[in-house]
Structure 1
Amino acid sequence: MQKLKSFSLENGEMNGYFDEDGRIRRTGTLISASAHVMTVVVGSGVLSLAWCLAQLGWIAGILLLVVFAVVTLFTCVLLTDCYRSPDPVSGNRNYNYTQAVKVNLGGFKYKLCGVSQYTIQVGATIGYTITSAISMAAVKRSNCFHIHGHNTGCHTLNNSYVFIFACIEIVLSQIPNFHKLSLVSIVATIMSFCYASIGIGLSIAKIAGAGASPKTSLTGITIGQNMTSMEKMWNIFSAIGDIAFAYSFSPVLLEIQDTLKPSPPENKVMKKASTIGIGASTLLYILCGALGYVAFGNDSSGNYLTGFGFYEPFWLVDIGNICVVIHLLGAFQVIIQPFFMFVENWSREKRPGSKFIETEYFIGRYSINLFRLTWRTVYVILVTIVAMMFPFFNSFIGLIGSMTYWPLTIYFPIEMYISRAKIRTGSFRWILLKVLTLVCLIVALLGAAGSIRGLVVVVSRFELFRSVS
């Protein structure tokens, strides 16, 4: 075992191994950046889109998917130009989202961005843990249904599956930074396409084999005996939050961009990667949501791979859920890396020269840092405990989506663009951007309200640490 205390760049030393800023040479490409984007964008949110269409109906459901995609792509294009300042091609690097906000907006907004970004990333990892446990439990239930029949309950506690997911994440969390995550993201991206494709295939098979088509509607579930107007309103708000969650990758966009080679310019490559990621995701979302809605109609469940609208072929349902788990193992790492790096950089600043914090031990090609090992393990354990306590899929992802979408996907990119482009206050372009910001804020607040109400309802009838699938 070898140990190395720190990495430094002397003038002219090992120049081929470092970029102009003294950091180890970045090797990311359009393929790796697109994989990172797809890993975060095509996530567990896709599983709830049939339910969303059941609440919103064909018109509002499809329209919202397209509008969220267009608005997200627009603000992501603005955000990619914030990686370097003041010039987007040759300026100084902003290594992460919060640093870009600090350089372009400064002061209070920088602190607000940091709190928003890291809170949302922590929340997302809790959501991924919950979803993975439900998918693992669905594999066991699927096999049980196949053996004992569809009328058997086959219920199982999720806590053991949360624990299994946590053990794997403790190991994966030792991947030191974004630059080492390319393979994980590529595998996760492949898995996301696999389970989305399985969901699409199963929906088509169910539609083809159905004697009578389930009821769908241009406006979603109709108000009647089983659905009050108030319940309908809250479900619509929650569905908006779910769709927002499906497009929430801006919190890690600049961190992904920081992995790219400097030539061609990072902002141009990242714009292409964002277009590929959002475009492919939107196509998958519309296919999954629309076909799932046609297959199940207004009775669509919140997660159509674990809600058991599909029982057979049981092995294909199993494969779909296993793909979900593998994907979320990678997505957990991609979404939380900025928070990991923030804590570790802050610790180095507070305790410079600390052997516990700074020393890297090498075993072959792999490095182990005792501080990283300790604190990341503790983090995963804490997330696991919270996931066991509050195992609510739909309302949780809706709340995360609503909280994420407005500040990090809308507000900060537009505010930084206004500052960088020196857009005059009161001008036509300034008014348009402010109106867009306000409209998106209202939509986000509605989604958050629906999700919070859903959480309150679920919390009122569950037992602590007894999550059952």
Structure 2
Amino acid sequence: MHAGAESHTAFMAARRMDTVEMDTLEEGPEDDLSFQGMDVPQQHQTISDTAELASAPATPKRLTPPFTPSATSPTNQPSAAPAPPPFSMPSTSFSSMLAAAQPSSSSVHPQHPQSASHTPTGAATMPSSSYASPAVPRSPMISSAGAGTKTPRTPWTPRMLMSPIGTPVVKAITNMKSYLEDVGHLTKLNPQDAWLPITESRTGNAYYAAFHNLNAGIGFQGLLLPLAMFSLGWTWGLISLSIGYIWQLYTMWVLIRLHEATPGVRYSRYVELAEAAFGKRLGFWLATPANINLTAGTATTLLIVGGSTLKLFYKIVCGPECGTSPLTTIQWYLVFAMLSIVLAQLPNLNSIVGLSLIGAVTAITYCTMLWALSVSRARPPGVSYNIEGGKSIIAQTFTILNSLGIVAFAFRGHNLAMEIQATMPSTLKHPAYIPMWRGAKVANAIIAACYFPIAIAGYWAYGTMMLSSGILFSVYAFHQKDISRPLMGLLFLLVVVHCLSSFQIYSFSIFDNFEAGYTARRNRPISKPVRVAFRIFYVFTNFLIGVAFPWLSSLSGLLGGLSSAPVTFAYPCFMWLAIKKPKKYSFNWYLNWTLGLLGMLMAAAFTAGGIWSIVDSGLKLHFFKAS
């Protein structure tokens, strides 16, 4: 019996040591102490013991000291040897029990000495893998030296975590992201967008939208509105201006809502939206020429107006002390181009938000100054508001159409709506159209507060004597002696600053097109030297076009019919019909079909009126002769 008790105790001690080794094996590669110094038979023995433990019934057991036969046991015999050294007799104190439960490595595994890295140092808590097995006594177990001080893999990993869960979680997140992209709750971003100047930064907000829309919406074309009133008269002039304002505000709302009309897709450029609505080939040919005309053409016109205004600013500030050999007009164009090259090196559209803010403030300021100075000063003698008579019906008709084209050209910036909205973050709960529409509403309210007073006050102050170059040069021509030089110089300086800032926002669409082609071919971001070289080349190309065609700023009616009318008034309505597909014969369906068709008819009529105005007024087309 003594021999049986001794063998049973040794078997239980060996089982506990094998369990410790198997639990230590589960700890990870840092504490892998299993099979150190074992031969093959011992490995098989450990595995078989583990299988036996796993097959035992899962009945919980009370934590008791290991069984040791006592002297009073019925199975005890007087000649029995004392208990083996690994375990002592049960004690009344738990601390003595813990101390007695520490066997020496030689008594448990005398034929396999432990290595230096596997030195038992005391009792530890029971591994979680042993809780469900009734075959393992609930006594304190031996752990490795570093078990209590093991560092987690990351600061957020639970210390009692035995198996890594990073890979399954990552897979689940990836699968969920793919599912949300498929159903349209997440936007599939084009990796190339991170390399392009328009979509490189997506940190915009409602303030950015207001600044960009103001900078792009107010400009030199608004200064020509009194000239349109000259042919339309008070009544029809104000009616056409009001209808044009409401119409363009509606199409701006349409473009903003179509930015993410397709679930999971963002149309970040006007041409992309046109291709999605009309097909790739048709959409490209409908939108690209008009978009280039409204971006590169407007940039060239801004260079011409800015250079001419810069020349007048220098003349006003310097006065008669300037000398007899000032710079020529072409040289002032070059000065404006050099300033534009410096500002054009800003990397993306969000980086010029400061310029857009400056441009918006200067535009509001000089618009207010223009109508205030026009009203506060005495009107020139001989001012009349009667529409010229003596013309044929055809001539009067084309003159009216040209004036309507000027009104249409005054409302610009719709070709940049997609680009501005693309700079904003967008989620399912916070879509980008909300801040974009807020900024657009504020910008359009300010535009109305600038345009209507200019049209009314300019026409009241000058009537039929309004110069063809607009209210700015009319104020200078009629009131240069009535207005102080500092105030007049400030007025022209504000116009120059606004032209410089507006030149940048209209140029970024061209920058984006070039870099899109470059990155698509090279499959890498554009290098800084190539970016700088292209932007310098682009500005100098605009300079050469401005020198060759210095009369472009006089073609506002023609430009309004060719590009502004379809892009601003017609195309958005057809895009809404093609993408949103409203119910047939509903109010929305009738509204967009009517506005779209009327916009295309207006575009053709305005173009014809612009051509007739050029022929009728005898506009002298001086090539390479800037006045």
Q: Same fold (TM over 0.5)?
A: yes
Equivalent-residue separation in structure 1 for 2:388 and 2:345 (angstroms): 50
2:228 paired residue number:
52
1:202 paired residue number:
373
Give the AA of the match of 2:471: Y
1:444 paired residue number:
603
2:457 paired residue number:
291
Is this contact kept in 2: 1:245–1:401, CA < 8 A? Answer: yes
Equivalent-residue separation in structure 2 for 1:252 and 1:459 (angstroms): 34
- Identify the structure with the greater helix proportion: 1
What are the superposed Cα offsets for residues 339-382 of structure 1, whole Å, 9 maximum, x if unpaired?
211111111212335xxx733xxxxxxxxx11111111111111
Alpha-carbon offset, residue 165 of structure 1: 0.9
Is this contact kept in 2: 1:66–1:282, CA < 8 A? Answer: no
2:363 paired residue number:
192
Aligned partner of 1:39 among 215, 222, 225: 215
Is this contact kept in 2: 1:293–1:300, CA < 8 A? Answer: yes
**Whose radius of gyration is greater, 1 or 2?**
2
1:131 paired residue number:
305
- Tell me the TM-score normalized by structure 1: 0.83
What are the superposed Cα offsets for residues 199-253 of structure 1, whole Å, 9 maximum, x if unpaired?
01211212xx348672224xxx3214xx676654443332222221211111100
Distance 1:125 1:25, change over 3 A: closer
Aligned partner of 1:166 among 309, 316, 337: 337
- State whether structure 2 residue 532 is matched by structure 1 residue 373: yes
Is this contact kept in 2: 1:27–1:259, CA < 8 A? Answer: yes
Equivalent-residue separation in structure 2 for 1:351 and 1:74 (angstroms): 40
For structure 1, which runs of at least 5 residues remain unmatched after alignment? Answer: 1-10, 13-18, 149-153, 360-368
- State whether structure 2 residue 582 is matched by structure 1 residue 423: yes
- State whether structure 2 residue 258 is matched by structure 1 residue 258: no
Give the AA of the match of 2:496: V
1:182 paired residue number:
353
- State whether structure 2 residue 434 is matched by structure 1 residue 434: no
Which secondary structure state, in structure 2, belongs to the residue aligned with residue 181 of structure 1?
Answer: helix
2:255 paired residue number:
79
2:384 paired residue number:
215
1:405 paired residue number:
564
Which secondary structure state, in structure 1, belongs to the residue aligned with residue 472 of structure 2?
Answer: coil
Which secondary structure state, in structure 2, belongs to the residue aligned with residue 92 of structure 1?
Answer: coil
- State whether structure 2 residue 542 is matched by structure 1 residue 389: no
Is this contact kept in 2: 1:399–1:452, CA < 8 A? Answer: yes
Equivalent-residue separation in structure 2 for 1:95 and 1:317 (angstroms): 41
Matches within 5 A, 1:65-144: 65-87=241-263, 91-112=264-285, 113-142=287-316
Is this contact kept in 1: 2:571–2:596, CA < 8 A? Answer: no
- State whether structure 2 residue 436 is matched by structure 1 residue 270: yes
Is this contact kept in 2: 1:38–1:189, CA < 8 A? Answer: yes
Alpha-carbon offset, residue 60 of structure 1: 1.5
Aligned residues: 425
CA RMSD of aligned residues (A): 2.9
Is this contact kept in 2: 1:245–1:400, CA < 8 A? Answer: yes
Distance 1:134 1:211, change over 3 A: closer
Equivalent-residue separation in structure 2 for 1:343 and 1:143 (angstroms): 40
Equivalent-residue separation in structure 2 for 1:248 and 1:437 (angstroms): 17
Alpha-carbon offset, residue 458 of structure 1: 7.3
- State whether structure 2 residue 518 is matched by structure 1 residue 339: no
Equivalent-residue separation in structure 2 for 1:141 and 1:448 (angstroms): 36
Alpha-carbon offset, residue 454 of structure 1: 4.0
Alpha-carbon offset, residue 104 of structure 1: 3.5
Equivalent-residue separation in structure 1 for 2:313 and 2:346 (angstroms): 28
Equivalent-residue separation in structure 2 for 1:157 and 1:438 (angstroms): 46
Distance 1:232 1:159, change over 3 A: farther
Distance 1:237 1:25, change over 3 A: closer
Alpha-carbon offset, residue 86 of structure 1: 1.8
Alpha-carbon offset, residue 394 of structure 1: 4.8
- Tell me the TM-score normalized by structure 2: 0.63
Alpha-carbon offset, residue 400 of structure 1: 2.6
Distance 1:341 1:76, change over 3 A: same
Equivalent-residue separation in structure 1 for 2:570 and 2:599 (angstroms): 9
Distance 1:216 1:28, change over 3 A: same
Which secondary structure state, in structure 2, belongs to the residue aligned with residue 175 of structure 1?
Answer: coil
Matches within 5 A, 1:310-321: 310-311=479-480, 312-321=483-492
Range with greater deviation from structure 2 (409-418 or 38-47): 409-418
- State whether structure 2 residue 624 is matched by structure 1 residue 461: no
Give the AA of the match of 2:417: L
Equivalent-residue separation in structure 2 for 1:104 and 1:189 (angstroms): 32
Distance 1:123 1:260, change over 3 A: same
